[in-house]
Amino acid sequence: MKKSLTSRVIFWCFTRDLFHIIISADRLRWEIFSRSLKEPEGSFVQTELQHSRPSSTPIHPLDQLEEALQRLKEEHDQLLDQLGTLYDEVKGISQEQNMLSRQTRLYVLRDEALEFQRRMEEHAAWEDTVMFPLIGNYFGEQSNHLTVMEQEHEIAEQFVLAFIEAVKRAPVREHEAKEMGSYLQEALMMLERHFLSEEQFVTELWDLCSAYGY
C-alpha cells in the first residue's frame, strides 16, 4: 500500500541525512545564504528571494519556502484563470457556423495560447531556479514526487501545443473546432490536478518543517 504524502514527508524528514543537516550543518546553511546576498545586483535568485527584504538581512530557508509557496499559489491561480478563459472561448467558436469567422477567431485564440505557453515556461523556470532548490534544502537534489508532478506539467503543455498546431490546419471545420477544444479541456483538467498536488506537497512540507522549527 502506498504511503500517504504526509507519511512520506515525515519519513524523509527523519532520515539520517536530514537529521545531520539539522544538527550539524545549520551554520553552513546560513553561511551559504549569507554569501548569496553578496551576488551582483540584478541576480535572478537574489531578486526573486529577497525583493521584499533589506539586502543585509539573511532569510531563513523556512521563510523563503513560505514566500515561495505564496507565489506558487498566486501564479497557479493566474494560469488556471487564463487557460479556463481560453477554453471557454474555444467552446464558443465550435458553435460558430461561418467558417471564415471561426478561423479568424481561432487565430486570435492561438496567439492567446502562445502567450499562455510563454507564461507557463516562465513559471517552470521560476520553479527550477527558486522553488525546487528550496525544497532541495530538505530532500537533497532529487525528489521522486516532484519528478512525477513535473511529468504531469509537461503532458499538459503538450495538449496546449496540440491546440496551437491544430489551428494551423486551416480551414477548421466545426467538428475539428470541438476536438481542438477538447485539447484545452484535457490540459485544464491535468493542470488543476497538477497544481493542487504541487501545492499540497509544498504546504505539507512547510507545515511539518515549521512545526519542528527547521
What digits encode the pLDDT tens for the residues 69-97? Answer: 999 999 999 999 999 999 999 988 878 88
Domain carrying residue 195: 61-212
1 in any annotated domain: no
Contact by Cβ (8 Å): 72, 202: yes
Total domains in the fold of the chain = 1
| CATH number reported for the structural domain that contains residue 158 in this entry | 1.20.120
Highest mean pLDDT: which of 114-118, 152-156, 174-178? Answer: 114-118
Give which of 62, 75, 30 is closest to 207, Cα–Cα. 62
157 in any annotated domain: yes
146 in any annotated domain: yes
36 in any annotated domain: no
49 in any annotated domain: no
| Percentage of residues in the chain having pLDDT higher than 70 | 68
CA 82/CA 89 separation, integer angstroms: 11
Q: pTM score, two decimals?
A: 0.69
116 in any annotated domain: yes
| Cell 483538467 found at | 189
Contact by Cβ (8 Å): 57, 33: no
120 in any annotated domain: yes
Residue 196, all three cell numbers: 493542487
42 in any annotated domain: no
